[in-house]
Structure 1
Amino acid sequence: MKKISDLLNWVDIKDAEQLEWIKEYLQKHAAGRYFIQTNESNAEIGVYNLFNPFVESDLLLLINKMRAAWRQKNLEVNKTAKRLTRLL
């Protein structure tokens, strides 16, 4: 199995928009399954559930779905931008 870091090589840590989108995606699709969130001192803490033997394959699936959703979002944004450019 690939390392988690290899699966996340599509993430640009300098892209604030992408990081915010990932945060919202995880809150919507993975809240309570993989991460525990707390707001102590405005900190957001993610805790990986190491005790579930199925988590690794589930996490792989989640990351793949998240990457596909990000690509789809970018395709839609690019198509819209091209349409607007043609209209101008």
Structure 2
Amino acid sequence: MGRGKHSIGRRPIPSLLAHDQAPAYPRHMRDYNRSNTPLAQKLRRNMTPWERKLWHEHLKSLPIRWQRQKPIDEFIVDFYCAKARLVSCAVNSLLN
């Protein structure tokens, strides 16, 4: 699936948990492996042509905030929208 690891977290959505089962982290923050941050920064600087096209022609101009190369858990996802809890991975046509 593209380069690197891509996945949607397997953790339950916090808003669906009972109040006494709420996770310890704030709702707006996702757990992530801090050692992935330098790689995520490098991937942001060196986007593939497909990622660049998707970012500059579509996601960047949307009213909802999207993030590029976002570390989540042990993964780095191509695009992430926290408000919608949505992950998008740009996969080039050669892999299909």
Q: Does the alignment reach a TM-score above 0.5?
A: no
TM-score range, shorter-chain basis? under 0.3
TM-score scaled by length of structure 2? 0.26
Richer in helix (by share): 1
Larger RCO (CA under 8 A, 6+ residues apart): 2
TM-score scaled by length of structure 1? 0.27
